[in-house]
Amino acid sequence: MTTKQNILLGLGTGVVWAIFTGPPIIDLALVLAFFVLVPSLLCLAATDNPKSLHRQRTFFLARYSYPFAFVAMIALSIEIGMWAALLAVVWAFFTLLVAINGGLHLIRKGVSAPEEAVMDAGQMFLFAGGIWFVLARAGAADWMPYSTMTVDLTAIHYHYSAFILPLFAGLFGRWYVNQKQLTTPSMMSFTVLALGLIIGSPLVAIGIAQGPPLEFVMVVFYVVFIFWLCIWVLLNTVRIGGLAGLLAAVATASLLFTMSYTTLHGAAIHLNIQLVPTGEMLRYHGAVNAFVFSVLGTTAWLLVKPRPRYDEQAFPISHLRAKGYVGPNVATNHHWTAVGKKAEGLLANWEAYERNGFSPSRVSSSVKDFYVHTTTYTLSSNVQWRWKWMSALVRPVTTRMGQINLPPTGHATMEGDILAIDEKKDERPDVRAWIRYNKETNDPIFSAFYSSHKSRHVTYMNIALPFPKGVMTGVLRPDNDHNDGLYLTSKKNNGVLGDEGIYFTLKNITVKLPLNEVFHVREEDGRLQATHTMTVFGLRFLTICYEMTKIKT
């Protein structure tokens, strides 16, 4: 069964069910989400013929949601109680799969693409909708401090406001990125917008559960970001064009209307003025959002089908893992070295890194020689921790582990070896280990295993640092500087997504860390120098200045 057939079958089933049962509007909105909206939006998030494992899993869930939705519909059709709750658990399990898939993608790729991150968050929130659906069918209002309407509305909230709205925003972000190269201000604006939508949704749910006055404050916070999104979309509906633009305009206009009315209603209650009964207002508000905004908005993006700017494929990650202490002998102790093979440098050559935007021919011959003949250079360093307390905090741990054991602020001379590593054990090509230790103290500093991989016409340095039971991977992109120097950076270019980043893998789960590093290697006044800068959440915390000297023979 194709995704289209899955959705059409669900739509037909829901229509027949609605005709014969005449359900209340809340149940009708839930069935619409189960059968149509959730799989449609998952399909849009996945795109057609996805290449990455994450999108393939998303596409699979969109394609086979019908059985789960059908059981959820049955749960709505029988009396509240144990059996209804057990049937609702089937749908909750489906939402859990969606949430796990979105969460794994978010922690692996981070927030460098806010339009994708907001969709990942929406998928994670869907599980909360599944849990509240189970509570609603179990009759939780009888033993929870909430009314039946509050429990039902919270289930609706997490299916619509917490799932559909973030995916609508993310799809708009995809379209917006595809229309033009995002500038730094517009990227920052969309990042703030996405963050507000992500935070605002659970805050509203908390407000609904707690009631006035907190509910009104949370709604106002959330409404600000919803207004921002709606106005941004409305300003671009002409550029979206055609029927899709018209549907997007009507959808966002309806959302602006309902959210404005809800805000005015909440303000009126604080002034002891009741415009309409609260229950009637909530039903009206929910009906318009479900059957106008959600349906028309989803249809608009189904017509446009905005593509992600980067459908990431999994890059190779070293299979080398330390069993305990790492230290300078980790490769020999674990028998990782390649028998009968020697290596003199971190790279065999620079030709493989040629691409649009980087030309090895522009890099100083001395800089390139250092990477190809690393063992023929001595290495002195000047380490500068921005915060001395950080060095004092991490050094006892790194010393005990024998990995990334950077010395405290001051001068240090480093020595080390280059070892050829067995490719079959590492499962990356042409692996060379650079083992560095402090010459004065003999303390281990780094055990880094250098390789490379190519993705989307870009060849990256792929550097693995084994840890006990895990591995840290630095994926660095080479760039030219303005002269004849070299940049190696884990930072992504604005508007261009790649594999760059620092990641940590534990078993089969890879997490993108909030770290970045930049090496600037250049020749100045006849001396070969490098500056290594590391940041956490964008804040610089470490700078190491190196001087490399060719050993005279």
pLDDT in tens, 238-275: 999 899 999 999 999 988 888 776 666 566 555 566 55
255, 247 contact by CB (below 8 A): no
Alpha helices (H) in 181-294, listed in sequence order: 184-210, 214-234, 237-240, 242-270, 278-288
Q: In this structure, are residues 343 and 432 in contact, taking their beta carbons and an 8 Å threshold?
A: yes
What's residue 291's pLDDT?
84
Q: 281 and 408 share a domain? A: no
Number of domains in the chain: 2
350 and 487 assigned to the same domain? yes
Residue 324 lies inside a defined structural domain of this protein: no
Q: What pLDDT sits at residue 182?
A: 55
Co-location of 350 and 291 in the same domain: no
pLDDT at 81 over 80: yes
Question: Would 312 be classed as within a structural domain?
Answer: no
* Residue 131 placed within a domain: yes
Q: Which domain CATH number covers 346?
A: 2.40.128
Domain annotation covers residue 319: no
C-alpha distances (whole Å) from 379 to each of 345, 416, 438, 528 are 14, 9, 10, 10
Same domain, 426 and 281: no
Average pLDDT, the chain: 88
* Mean pLDDT, residues 314-334 taken together: 90
* pLDDT at 523 (0 to 100): 92
pLDDT at position 315: 86
SS (H, E, C) 37-101: HHHHHHHHHHCCCCCCHHHHHHHHHHHCCHHHHHHHHHHHHCCCCHHHHHHHHHHHHHHHHHHHH
Q: Do 508 and 381 fall within a single domain?
A: yes
Q: Are residues 431 and 543 in the same domain?
A: yes
Same domain, 287 and 370: no
Q: What is the pTM of this model?
A: 0.77
Instruction: Note whether 11 and 54 are same-domain residues.
Output: yes
Q: How far apart are CA 63 and CA 307, in angstroms?
A: 19
- Domain end marker among 304, 319, 345: 304
Residues 236 and 358 in one domain: no
Asked whether residue 337 falls in the same domain as residue 282, the answer is no
- Whether 66 shows a pLDDT value over 70: the answer reads yes
Q: Is residue 403 part of a domain?
A: yes
pLDDT tens by residue, 474-492: 999 999 999 999 999 999 8
Q: What residue has token string 């949370």?
A: 218
Q: Any idea which residue has 């030219």 for tokens?
A: 480
- What is the C-alpha to C-alpha distance for residues 91 and 70, in angstroms, rounded to an integer? 9
Domain that holds residue 470: 330-550
pLDDT, tens digit (0-9, with 9 covering 90-100), for 142-159:
887 777 877 887 888 889
Question: Average pLDDT of 79-99?
Answer: 95
Element (H, E) at 420: strand 410-420
Q: What is the pLDDT of residue 178?
A: 81
Domain identity same for 415 and 491: yes
Share of the chain above pLDDT 90, in %: 58
Give a yes or no: residue 325 inside a domain: no
**Residue 273 and residue 366 in one domain:** no
- Tell me what the mean pLDDT of segment 510-515 comes to: 88
The predicted structure's pLDDT at residue 264: 67
In a domain, 60, yes or no: yes
Q: Flag whether 493 is in a domain.
A: yes
Q: In this predicted structure, which of 40-54, 130-144, 196-210, 381-395 has the lowest mean pLDDT?
A: 196-210
